[in-house]
Amino acid sequence: MEIGFVGLGKMGLNMGIRLLRDGHRVVAYDRDAEAVKKAEETGAIGVLSLEEMVGKLSPPRVIWTMVPSGATTEETIRKIAALATKGDTIIDGGNTRFQDDVLLAYELEKQGLHYIDVGTSGGIFGLESGYCLMIGGNAEIIKQCEPIFRSLAAKDGWARVGGHGAGHYAKMIHNGIEYSMMQGYAEGFELMSKSPYQFDLANIATLWMHGSVIRSWLLELAQISLSKGPNLSQLQGYVEDSGEGRWMVLDAIEKNVPVPALTAALFTRFRSRQEAPFSEKMLAALRNAFGGHAVKKKPIP
């Protein structure tokens, strides 16, 4: 097949390479001209505008967007839609909020265009290992794009999970679980680092990957990170979030579903970005006020 690919970042470029390896014709675009050059070096046809991309694809076209979620994704999809012709398909492989997928699909359908949302997992290792693709949209249109999904996915790593929005909903839940798993590993390894046994943490991670009930790819990545520096002194304890964890908490509140592990993991990420949080100063002040307990005061500059 031939496919237009928009967004050549750390995942997008690798996805394009994987498609090229399977013989697909890839027309690649990114706002960064250097990223387009890199795509050309891998065998893609590089273009410097969406207009040029649409012109180099034969209808009915398939165009995959892999750009930051939110306004950037919506703006990009609407620009493509304005250039597309009836019967073209736009695939969003980013992290769009599932409610927005439903609106986009409805909007594009009125123009005679098809929309597929794909929750994409695999990170920078997807180039060699393949991706896990959670796909939402019309079953017939998804079937037409099956060669693309087969080329990108790991063995048995793609499936239509439902209608419009279902792909990104499944990815939202996936990322929420990921937050909780990461937090569990982080807290367990911290406790071991404070134990009296002087554990080789990388060795423990390696051990747990063989027959343990908590073995996982995340644990493999923990082993790699701990091997580079057992105390992780090269890093700051600052953790961002991509948004899906927040959306999952909000969705859980709407549905009255308790998700305490995810919520704690998400809030811990918020705390990691604060230096001397006000709430902890308030705790110190209250403890001093009711019990006369000592407080540590900042030095006067």
**What amino acid positions are annotated as catalytic residues?**
171, 178
Distance CA 102, CA 228 (A): 44
The tokens describing 111, both together, are 């123009």
**Before 60, cis peptide (omega within 30)?**
yes
CA distance 77 to 280: 44
φ, ψ for residue 131, nearest 5 deg: -105, 160
- CA–CA gap between residue 207 and residue 214 (Å, rounded): 11
Cα–Cα distance for residue pair 136/102, rounded to 1 Å: 10
How many C-beta atoms surround the C-beta of residue 136 within 10 A?
A: 27
Q: Which residues pair with 158 in a beta bridge?
A: 133
- Asked if residues 130 and 153 have their Cβ atoms less than 8 Å apart, the reply is yes
What is d(CA 45, CA 19) in angstroms, rounded to the nearest whole number? 13
CA distance 127 to 49: 25
Residue type, 87: G
Report d(CA 241, CA 102) in Å as an integer.
24
**How many residues are present in the chain?**
301
